[in-house]
A = this chain, B = another copy of it.
Amino acid sequence: MSTSTSALAIENQMMSENGVQQVGLLNGVEDSYAGIIMNMEEPCESEAFAFSLRASILQWKQQGKRAIWIKLPIQLVNLVEPSVKEGFRYHHAEPDYLMLVNWISDSTNTIPANASHRVGIGAFVVNENREVLVVQENNGTFKGKGVWKFPTGVVNEQSGKLKKRQGQSHKSFFTKSDLFFVCMLRPLTFDIQKQDTEIEAAQWMPFNEYAAQPFVQKHDAFSSVANVCLTKLETGYVGFSPIPRTTSSGKTSYLYYNSKDLNKP
């Protein structure tokens, strides 16, 4: 693919030297991995873009560049096909843009990985009467089965808020892995504010009644969580606690560790 691209670009540049056609090179920003990032923003006619892309790739190859990235907002969807025809592959997508990449070097491909995991969170909330906050859901695997489960959700990356978790059926076309974290929490109030579109019913349920449900007994994942939380209530199980810190770039990140063991005398 890369050979034919170069050949076309040379031909195209020769045309330009003969004054037949002027080919503008595309603008890109260099990264620290011998790469070029093109952040396309202005509308562009597909064929003109393809010509410029070929000429630009030739130049970047000569400069020893290795990876060429194109970020295309969805408004510029007409440039997806010409990019793929010039040897680009998809890297990742969000609702409003597509990122493509083309490894133009003969060296080993070291294109960084796309996001690989979906992160789910469960909240195991126990009040001082040893009751667990449980819900029944409007959708998904457990709908209409009378199962009371602790609230779960996926991380909504735009807002940082939790979104109710969609079930397993979408797994069939996601190749991503799931990481699921359970947090044990203490409530600030006994009042329950139900989210009506996703939650059918919510209540406080005695811990033993929760744990005795056949659905909890049958599934290792749920019975283990119940075991861990019971151990914590009764004999002081120690999990990981978040320790906030400020990174050199001024953002907050969290270290999670067994702070009891770390701080013991």
Task: Report the bound CA distance from A5 to B90 in whole Å.
Answer: 27
Secondary structure at the A interface, as helix, strand, loop or mixed, is mixed
Taken residue by residue from 95 to 124, chain A's Cβ proximity to chain B (1 for < 8 Å, 0 otherwise) reads as 111110000000010101111111100000
Q: Give Cα A154 to B113, complex, Å.
A: 7
Shortest CB–CB separation between residue A240 and chain B, in angstroms? 7
A228 to B262: give the CA distance in the assembly, Å: 6
B-contacting residues, A77-103, CB 8 Å: 77-78, 80-81, 84-85, 89-99
Please name all residues of chain B whose beta carbon is closer than 8 Å to the beta carbon of A78 when the two chains form the complex: 81
Q: Contact partner of A116 among B69, B139, B154, B243, CB < 8 A?
A: B154
Name the CB-closest residue of B to A177: B157
Specify which chain B residues have a CB less than 8 angstroms from the CB of A140 in the assembled complex: 32-33
| Listed residue (A114, A154, A176) with the most chain B CB atoms within 10 angstroms of its CB | A114
Return chain B residues, CB-CB under 8 Å to A119.
116-117, 177, 179
Q: Interface size on A (CB < 8 Å)? A: 80
Q: Are B84 and A90 in contact (CB under 8 A)?
A: no
Contact with B along A188-217 (1 / 0, CB 8 A): 000000000110000000000000000000
Extra A-B contacts (11), CB below 8 Å, given A32-B169, A71-B173, A235-B261: A39-B173, A90-B95, A90-B96, A90-B98, A91-B93, A98-B98, A112-B170, A113-B157, A157-B176, A220-B255, A239-B257
29 contacts across the A-B interface (CB closer than 8 A): A31-B169, A32-B167, A33-B139, A33-B169, A33-B170, A69-B173, A80-B81, A89-B96, A93-B93, A93-B99, A93-B114, A94-B114, A94-B175, A110-B164, A110-B198, A112-B154, A112-B166, A113-B163, A115-B115, A115-B117, A115-B176, A116-B154, A117-B155, A219-B248, A220-B245, A224-B243, A224-B255, A227-B262, A240-B240
